[in-house]
Structure 1
Amino acid sequence: MKFTVLIPARLASTRLPNKPLADLGGKPMVVRVAERAALAGAQRVVVAADCEEIAQACAAHGIAAVLTRTDHASGSDRLAEACELLKLDGDDIVVNVQGDEPLIEPELISACAATLATHPDCVVATSAHAITELADFRNPNVVKVVLDKDQRALLFSRACIPWWRDGAQQGQAALPTPPAWRHIGIYAYRAGYLRTFPQLAISPLEQIESLEQLRVMWHGGKIAVNISAKAPHAGVDTPDDLLRVRRFFAG
């Protein structure tokens, strides 16, 4: 199975300025992400950069990069431009790996690509794992997904879904059975669909939940979901996250 990994990298960050270039054991974060992605068996790994600094940092470490516009509203918009620049065929599978996931498991990347390849009726694939902590089930920052029998997404939400009716009578003091699924923010697309995605109107559900994947479903696209046996490592969003990851590479 052939697939391309694209890594959107934007220099501006509210909480962590210059995050893609943050040093992790002697290499920029975005380079560490690309190196992990290369272990997934991708045909190629390319960083979609928004500035010369990121592109130059990638080149210095032998990582391919394309320079995209600075005014993209989202990472998927940036990847759509990257697909054009790379002249990817419409049926090519593209995996979007976030540039702040330096500890991402290569198996998660390849599994996401394989899930899309084996679901020809779907335009996107993503991943999820079982929620094992009640606090995560209740946390609106933890996105949940409900699946059909063939592991296609029925709905994504920040709410407690599926809502456990009998558990509610006990104050939701326990997790539902069968388990609820936590969405993992990795996506595989067919390149042709990814190029058209930014042109789709933003959906009301997407606006309410602030979840871009709901735009796909609102417009009739199907999303296949790979079930991961374990939770992924946390990404880097805050200075504390950066310290944690630096300790990992130092040790």
Structure 2
Amino acid sequence: MKRIAMIPARYAASRFPAKLMQDLGGQPVIIRTYQATVQTQLFDDVYVVTDSDIIFDVVVAAGGKAIMSKKEHECGSDRIAEAIEDMDVDIIVNVQGDEPFIDKESLANVLSVFDNDPKEEIDLASLMFKITDIEEISNPNAVKVIVDTNNVALYFSRSPIPYPRDKDVDTIYYRHKGIYAFRKRALLDFQRLPMLQLEATEKIEAIRYLEYGKKLKMVETDVSGIGIDTPEDLEKAKKVWK
């Protein structure tokens, strides 16, 4: 199977504009993420796919591979689907552009889902990790996921799920880590299928796959990582980088 990584990269970001161009150890965040993804040696190719001339130029100048989006897109999956439509690939991994501390073991475990699926029943795979902090569980910016006994996703929400009505139950909460691995057909289907009510309400693109009956396998990881969504996140990342 041919496997590639795609890093969707928007210049504008509502919470932290131009975050991917912020300096992290002498290089922009997007370059650090690109380099970390290449260094895993898990992929046949790695690309940044962007709507920004600034990001495109900085990636190419650093010796990386970049693709310019032809259309406007509401989410990373749509952006990647356009880019890979005519590519001869089997598995596409969506690596978030603001994740410079990419974890090779977690990525390898996500890819292994497809190695262990000879009947090709799994459409896509993603990551989750346990959380216990009450503020994080209640935080709408932390997307939670619930799964069945085979770790196939049942639902994603910004609300605490499951709701702890019975306080005596030892409830486990999982936070979704937004790295996806897709079969090509599932990604192209996503682009063609219109957004439905649940996705529109929660603003979580993974819900679209569930609403249309796709099978999304979750892989548990112990690595939460550092996603750079705010200036405060960037300061934390700089300390870790040092």
Q: TM-score, normalised by structure 1?
A: 0.87
Give SS of 1:166's match. Answer: coil
Once the two structures are TM-superposed, the CA of residue 2 in structure 1 deviates from its matched residue by: 4.4
1:73-88 alignment runs, 5 A limit: 73-84=74-85, 87-88=87-88
Paired amino acid for 1:28: P
Paired amino acid for 2:230: T
Identity of aligned residues (%): 36
Partner of 1:221: 214
Distance 1:166 1:13, change over 3 A: closer
Distance 1:142 1:18, change over 3 A: closer
Partner of 2:232: 240
Paired amino acid for 1:103: F
Once the two structures are superposed, residues 205-238 of structure 1 have per-residue CA deviations (whole angstroms, 9 ceiling, x without a partner) of 112222111111111111001011x242221111
CA distance in 2 between counterparts of 1:179 and 1:201 reads: 32
CA distance in 2 between counterparts of 1:222 and 1:15 reads: 31
| 1:140 pairs with 2:140 | yes
For the 8 Å contact 2:152–2:218, the answer to whether it is kept is: yes
CA distance in 1 between counterparts of 2:101 and 2:21 reads: 15
Paired amino acid for 2:207: L
Aligned residues: 239
Paired amino acid for 2:206: Q
CA distance in 2 between counterparts of 1:12 and 1:131 reads: 29
Paired amino acid for 2:189: T
Once the two structures are TM-superposed, the CA of residue 17 in structure 1 deviates from its matched residue by: 3.0
Once the two structures are superposed, residues 111-150 of structure 1 have per-residue CA deviations (whole angstroms, 9 ceiling, x without a partner) of 2222244342121111111122233223333222111111
CA distance in 2 between counterparts of 1:244 and 1:217 reads: 34
CA distance in 1 between counterparts of 2:216 and 2:165 reads: 27
Once the two structures are TM-superposed, the CA of residue 178 in structure 1 deviates from its matched residue by: 5.2
Q: TM-score, normalised by structure 2?
A: 0.90
For the 8 Å contact 2:103–2:223, the answer to whether it is kept is: no
Distance 1:32 1:147, change over 3 A: same
Partner of 1:173: none
Distance 1:16 1:144, change over 3 A: closer
CA distance in 2 between counterparts of 1:14 and 1:178 reads: 33
| 1:118 pairs with 2:129 | no
Segments of structure 2 that go 5 or more residues without pairing to the other structure are: none
Partner of 1:200: 193
Partner of 1:57: 58
Partner of 1:44: 45
| 1:209 pairs with 2:190 | no
* Structure 1 range deviating more: 211-220 or 135-144: 135-144
Segments of structure 1 that go 5 or more residues without pairing to the other structure are: 171-175
1:174-189 alignment runs, 5 A limit: 176-177=169-170, 179-189=172-182
Once the two structures are TM-superposed, the CA of residue 7 in structure 1 deviates from its matched residue by: 0.1
